[in-house]
Amino acid sequence: MSNKGKRTIIPTSGGIFHDLANQIKLIFRLMADQRVNPLLKLLPIGSLVYLIFPDLVPGPIDDALVVGMGTYLFVELCPPDIVQEHKEALERVVPGRWQNPENDTIKIDESDVVEGEFREE
């Protein structure tokens, strides 16, 4: 079965949980960055406060919507060059692999290679 003619509607880099984890890490990194405006940092903090105390705002507002919009607006309103810098830093980190800053290529030992063939049945 070939995926040649299929298109993905929402491209993801590693699944929904991987993308969510990267988004949370990005928010933490931006919160710790001194170059981000302190008033912008109130957006994710305020959305978390609303998640803990949902009765602060009257009306039928969905809690997940408030948290999602707060974090989305925070990332969108941060300076784009700072956001891109932190996104690139997160993409360079691969869990379970030691990073060598001088040489970022992966060396494969010949004893790790397994010869085989694939048959589609």
pLDDT tens per residue, range 19-69: 888 888 999 999 999 999 999 999 999 888 888 887 776 666 777 788 888
- Residues written for the chain: 121
Quote the tokens at residue 55: 């009765």
CA nearest neighbour of 46 among 62, 57, 33: 57
| Helix, strand or coil, per DSSP, at residue 69 | helix
Query: What integer pLDDT is reported at residue 113 of this predicted model?
Result: 76
Domain ranges of the chain: 34-91
Q: How confident is the model at residue 97 (pLDDT cuts 50, 70, 90)?
A: very low
Question: Which of 19, 26, 32 shows the shortest CA–CA distance to 88?
Answer: 26
* Cα–Cα distance, 49 to 41 (Å, whole number): 13
Confidence of residue 108 (pLDDT cuts 50, 70, 90): low
User: What local confidence, expressed as pLDDT, does residue 11 receive?
Assistant: 47
On the question of pLDDT at 111 being above 50, the answer is yes
- The whole-number pLDDT of residue 74 equals 92
Between the alpha carbon of residue 77 and those of residues 28, 47, 85, the distances in Å are 15, 15, 15
Does residue 101 have a pLDDT over 70?
no
pLDDT greater at residue 92 or residue 88: 88
10-20 per-position pLDDT tens digit: 444 567 787 88
Predicted confidence band at 8 (pLDDT cuts at 50, 70, 90)?
Answer: very low
